[in-house]
Amino acid sequence: MTIDHAIMNSLLDIYSIVVLFVILISVRKLDGGNSTPRRIFIYMVFVVIITLLFNILSHFTGLISPTYLILNQVGNLAVFILGPSIFVLWILYVSHQLLYRSKEMDLLKKILIFVLIINGIMVFASQFGGWYYKTDAFSIYHSGVFYWFFPIIQIGLNLISIGILVKDKNNFHKKHFGSMVFLPTQSIVGIVLQMAFPNISIGFTILTLSILIYYINIQIHNLETDYLTGVANRRKLEIHLKNRVEANPKPFSVIMLDLDNFKSINDNFGHFIGDKALIKAAKLLQSNLKEHDLLARFGGDEFCIITEIENPESLQEFVNKIRQSFKEYNKISNLDYQLEISLGYMVYKNNGDSPSTFLRQLDMKMYEEKKRKKLR
């Protein structure tokens, strides 16, 4: 590798370190709690930064210096050891997002530890037999007979994370799923390109850009998502409704609903159970939605659905379907409380009402139903 290539690769790695360091600081400053997925994501970014620092040591070859020969060997050793651990952390991050059960997590961790042990054996064996690589007296790097095994391990780990995501894609919002699949997919592209162009530090650059794109997407997702239930938040609801009204589209329908006696659930069973009730209600509502419908948490125990339904008859059928899903759940739930809802619903026909006025009308209809229930 020429000195120009070494400088260029070092600059690429330094650029990646700066980008990742900014992401690391941003993630740590966010008020996202101390959740396991968040911690794992921080660890992953940190490991990539450390790996890049070691990777810089391996760029300057052809220098006859005992000191630099040692630094070069340490750099290569660390990169080959740490490389797969980046993708192991990503797999753990994805798995914790899906709330895998303890038995599933234990099995997955055993498989991942086994992969890391095999890679570690290959790396340390390379220091004597040159299996993965060897470094000559001039600090020049040479690929070993089994070099191909290293990228296969990394590609395999990325494929595992993609497989986990595809298997449980219904548990993710569509945009969130796409951004999560993007990172391992682009990582595979980077690994392949690194093999094709070994003199350019392109693999880590693509990985860094993938992490940056994922981080931006997840931040946008969080801005539009209710932190507890995972459905859209009020901000996204109001923007979506405003855009629909201003675009003067064909008629559409909106349903406003809330949980009956939710305060008593919190008072009698605690806020943790109350949160679980909200999450389950959101899932029941989601199970009734069509592809282009929007479900949002309006606030507290209130939810709102915007659907493409254009006429009152079809809207009534949809509402009846929602009610029936809650009734069926209550029959089989064996809980000490019932999930019951009151609804207000109307077809919006572009009659000049503003979005806020329309939502107030729905809110009034919802509370009218709630009052009727209390009078029974």
What is the mean pLDDT of the segment spanning 1-7?
Answer: 69
Claim to verify: residue 81 and residue 153 sit in the same structural domain? yes
- What SS3 state is found at 169? helix
Confidence bin at 64 (pLDDT 50/70/90): low
CA distance 213 to 202: 16
pLDDT at 172 over 70: no
The answer to whether 240 and 294 are in contact (CB under 8 A) is: yes
DSSP letter at 170 equals: G
Last residue of a domain, one of 172, 197, 223: 223
**Rounded CA separation 368/19 (Å):** 54
Same structural domain for residues 134 and 20? Answer: yes
Q: Are residues 274 and 179 in the same domain?
A: no
* CATH number of the domain within which 324 lies: 3.30.70.270
Distance of CA 50 to the CA centre of its chain: 23
210 and 348 housed in the same domain: no
Let me know if residue 271 belongs to a domain. Answer: yes
- Judgement on whether residues 150 and 296 belong to the same structural domain of the protein: no
Q: Does residue 152 share a domain with residue 26?
A: yes
Listed range (140-144, 225-229, 238-242, 328-332) with the worst mean pLDDT: 140-144
Claim to verify: residue 21 and residue 129 sit in the same structural domain: yes
E-state strands within the chain? 133-135, 141-143, 252-259, 294-299, 302-307, 341-348
For residue 229, give the nearest of 293, 281, 165 by alpha carbon. 281
Query: In 197-261, where does DSSP find H-type helix?
Result: 202-223, 234-246
Q: What percent of the chain has pLDDT over 70?
A: 91
Predicted local confidence at residue 137, as pLDDT: 66
Q: What is the mean pLDDT of the chain?
A: 86
According to the model, what pLDDT value does residue 68 have? 72
Give which of 219, 216, 228 is closest to 303, Cα–Cα.
228
Residue 33: pLDDT over 60: no
pLDDT band with cut points at 50, 70 and 90 for residue 97: confident
pTM: 0.72
Q: What is the pLDDT of residues 323-360, one digit of tens each?
A: 999 999 998 888 888 899 999 999 988 776 788 888 88
Answer yes or no: is pLDDT of 272 > 60.
yes
**Stretch among 29-38, 134-143, 219-228, 337-346 having the lowest mean pLDDT:** 29-38
Pick 143 or 324 by higher pLDDT.
324
Give me the pLDDT at residue 67, please. 72
The domain containing residue 270 runs over which residues? 234-375
Which residue has 């605690």 as its token pair?
270
Of 191, 223, 255, the residue at which a domain comes to its end is: 223
Burial of 317 (0-12, 13-18, 19+ CB in 10 A): exposed
Domain end residue (candidates: 223, 244, 265): 223
Helix, strand and coil content of the chain, in percent to the nearest 5, comes to 70, 10, 20
> What is the rounded CA–CA span in Å between residue 93 and residue 179?
14
